[in-house]
Amino acid sequence: MSNENPALFEQLQLRQLTLPNRIIIAPMCQYSADEGKTTDWHLIHLGNLAQSGCGMLILEATAVEPRGRITHGCLGLYDDETESTLSRVVEACKKYGNTPIGIQLGHAGRKASAHPPQNGGAPLKLDEDSWETIAPSDIPFANDWHRPRQMDRSLMKHVIEAHVQAVHRCERIGFDAVELHGAHGYLVSSFLSPIANQRTDEYGGPMQNRMRFPLELFAAMREAWPATKPMGVRFNGTDWDDKGLLLEEAIEFGQALKKLGCDFFDISGGGNNLSRPEVKPAYQVQFATAIKRATGIPTMAVGMIRDPHLAEKLISEGACDMIAIARGFLFEPRWSWKAAYELGATCDYPAQYARANPLLWPQAFPDNQELNDTALDWEVGAAPHIMVPKN
């Protein structure tokens, strides 16, 4: 095994937050909230992931008002009850975990008021306790979807204030970072996309106008968030449709966000209509790379990056600065440990789990003498969750 630390396990500085490595657990909706409030499911789910030793854990999309939830089971952060229950979960994650904790704030816009994916994902009917949806234009997401209310300036200001209040709650709770959800066809994404935004005023038309509201929103959130803490944005690099957001427009948005003090980007794609790409490992990395190189902002790549060696290659070659993994962590909640083991790196283990590190198992690898020799050359350090070489 090489003595050189793999690029995937190098630290990354975002303002005064130091990420121990470049592995990010991406936001993953659990559809398990009770009227926006966390439940014991979130305590177990997030507590487990918080012990993975990754660079940062970002909580699932969290609505800034009840109308902004995708489903009845989505998290919210818009009143004292939602703040209190979420605070309990984050406190436990920080007490027993070993990774920075971020949160993704957002608003579902015209894709709100729906069933969860496991129940088909269709829009709620009137007798299913549906609610009003809002959007830049009164264009439904798809056939049989709700016709959203077109936002006027007063409603835009209301939504901005709801995000700002959620940011203040995030600070009281103790989050280390905030990410604005600007992808996947939800409210911010729908303003950016000409598929969903067909306004004729100063908030529609050319990209300079379509990104006006998202930039006003981010600027207000950034001002409300401590200067010492990072704030980023997840946004699309493409709509996977020539009639939608184009890469050059996504780059323009990224450059504008940079001027407002954005600290990181999380680049995804699609969701403003039913267009879908061919899905394969690293299928969206090209967009993250282009935006990273055009802006110089630390950028996450997403999309089926499950192989540690592929993740290492992308980081080491400068295609991106961080790897965001979602479903891969549901399947392998200790993916970061696996990656460290395969790449010859060190990774933080909770003290209670330190003995799980294969490097502490002499002769655990009957068919690989190199690994056996390596295991014999390591020991538990003064802090038992950190592995150090023997003298």
* Residues belonging to the active site: 186
The C-alpha angle 312, 316, 318, rounded to 5 degrees, equals 120
The three-class DSSP label of residue 338 is helix
Tokens of 7: 């690029």
Residues 103, 57 contacting (CB under 8 angstroms): no
CA-CA distance, 244 to 246, in Å (whole number)? 6
Q: Compute the C-alpha angle 64/82/114, nearest 5°.
A: 55
Q: Work out the burial of residue 201: count CB atoms within 10 Å of its CB; fewer than 13 is exposed, 13-18 middle, 19 or more buried.
A: exposed
Residue 130 · residue 112 · CB < 8 Å: no
Q: Among all chains, which residue has been given the structure tokens 């209509």?
A: 273
Cα 187 to chain centroid distance, Å, stands at: 16
Give whole-number Cα distances, 253 to 213, 246, 369, in Å. Answer: 12, 11, 52
Residue type, 138: D
CA distances from 12 to 15, 93, 285 (A): 10, 21, 19
- C-alpha to C-alpha distance for 311 and 313, rounded to whole angstroms: 5
What is the C-alpha end-to-end distance of the chain, expressed in Å? 17
Phi, psi of 265 (to 5 degrees): -120, 150
With vertex at residue 274, the alpha carbon angle to CA 273 and CA 276, rounded to the nearest 5 degrees, is: 115
Q: E strands along 187-334, which residues?
A: 231-236, 264-268, 299-301, 322-325
